[in-house]
Amino acid sequence: MAYLIFTRAAVLCILLLSSYQVGVAMMEEKFTDPYATVYIYSGRPNPRWQLSLEEWQQVNQLIQTLPNSGKEIEGPYQFSGGLGYTGFYAHFSIVSSYPDIYYVAAHKQAVLSNPGGHFIFNDKCKLVEQWFIDSAKSHGIQLPLLD
């Protein structure tokens, strides 16, 4: 009888450990995979694709070359609603305070945003927008309205 109880306890421990390891692997995947989205508001799902860590670093470095508008605004940035092309969004959730990236098409601005606030960078030459368009194309995402 004691052997049966021990065996059941051992099997339960193995199952719990296995599900913990699977959960950790899934959590690591979720928290290390940045992605990008283009907001088109067309009634269809907005195109979305995974970004590599290298791509994430590229777009961050590109934004750092842009002139800062000098505006630091409290709270996270959010696109205004409405139909049509609004811009791009990139999210990297490895650390909750790490800034998300927005490209605001109407104002030719790049925005670094986290829950505490956001910084706005001027992008008169649309360098960040072009980076997102090129990234989408390299991932097989067609954006015919933006070409």
Instruction: Map out the domains of the chain as residue ranges.
Output: 1-32, 33-141
Classify burial at 79, counting beta carbons within 10 Å of its beta carbon; exposed 0-12, middle 13-18, buried 19 or more. middle
Q: Decide if 37 contacts 50 (C-beta within 8 A).
A: no
Report the percent of the chain where pLDDT is more than 90: 34
Q: Give the helix, strand, coil percentages of the chain, each rounded to 5.
A: 40, 25, 35
Q: Which among 84, 94, 126, 130 has a CA at the least distance from the CA of 107?
A: 126
What single letter denotes the amino acid at residue 96? S
pTM equals 0.72
The pLDDT-based confidence of 70 (bands split at 50, 70, 90) is confident
pLDDT in tens, 16-61: 333 333 333 333 434 457 899 998 887 888 899 999 888 988 998 9
66 C-beta neighbours (distance < 10 Å), count: 17
Residue 98: predicted pLDDT? 66
Share of the chain above pLDDT 70, in %: 71
Calculate mean pLDDT across residues 52-80. Answer: 87
Query: Which residue from 142, 118, 147, 144 is spatially nearest to 130, judged by alpha carbons?
Result: 147
Measure the CA–CA gap between 51 and 89, rounded to whole angstroms. Answer: 11
> Mean pLDDT of all residues in the chain?
75
Q: Are 128 and 103 in contact (CB under 8 A)?
A: yes
Task: Reply yes or no on whether the pLDDT at 93 is more than 50.
Answer: yes
Q: Where would I find the beta strands (DSSP E) of 52-126?
A: 68-74, 87-91, 100-104, 109-114, 117-122
**Whole-number Å distance between alpha carbons of 123 and 104:** 9
